[in-house]
Amino acid sequence: MFRVLFFILTFVAFQLNSNAQQEQIKIDATVNMQIHELEILQKITYFNKSNTSLDTIYLLNWPNSFLGRKSPLAKRLIEDYDRSLYFAKREDRGHNRIKEITDQDQLLIWSTVKGAPDILRVVLNQTLKPKDTLIINASYTLKIPSNEFTRYGVRNNTFNLRNWHLVP
């Protein structure tokens, strides 16, 4: 009986420890149906799983894949003879307009990685040590793309969203 109880307690302790060491994302969003936009306030709790200290982190900004004719997504679609994104009107393509990214109310410097409009490089104000966590807040406007490019997006005022927020 003691062995079973010990095993259960060890398993529960391990689960609690492993759950506390994962990224968490909280999003507050306001929808504007007329112009197909979301105003987003996002809180990312980032856990440094690596064995090295970090001074920069990267975030996936998938909506910017729809931003222009020269994006990697547009080029990939053209390889499949799909020119829908390449010739799409600006209002049908999606993107993020980032207002600010902060760490405890201090602005963080961020930029788009050259040649990868869907990757954000965020420079941290302080080094993030291994096994430490950092809370990042982002404020941005998401323009939802038409769903004709990837099946995800907006059609007839119905949103079908996937990978629409910033992700570590």
Where does residue 145 rank: exposed (0-12), middle (13-18), buried (19+ CB within 10 A)?
Answer: buried
Rounded distance between C-alpha atoms, residue 48 and residue 46, angstroms: 7
Q: What is the pLDDT of residues 29-70, one digit of tens each?
A: 999 999 988 999 999 999 999 999 999 999 988 777 766 667
Q: Which of 116, 110, 122 is nearest to 68 (CA)?
A: 116
Q: Show the tokens assigned to 100.
A: 């600010």
CB-side neighbour CA atoms (13 Å) of 74: 21
Predicted pLDDT at 164: 83
**Phi, psi at 8, each rounded to 5°:** -65, -45
Residue whose token pair is 């999003």 = 27
Question: Residue 3 belongs to what H/E stretch?
Answer: helix 2-19
Predicted pLDDT at 148: 64
Q: What is the pLDDT of residues 131-160, one digit of tens each?
A: 999 999 999 998 887 666 567 677 787 777
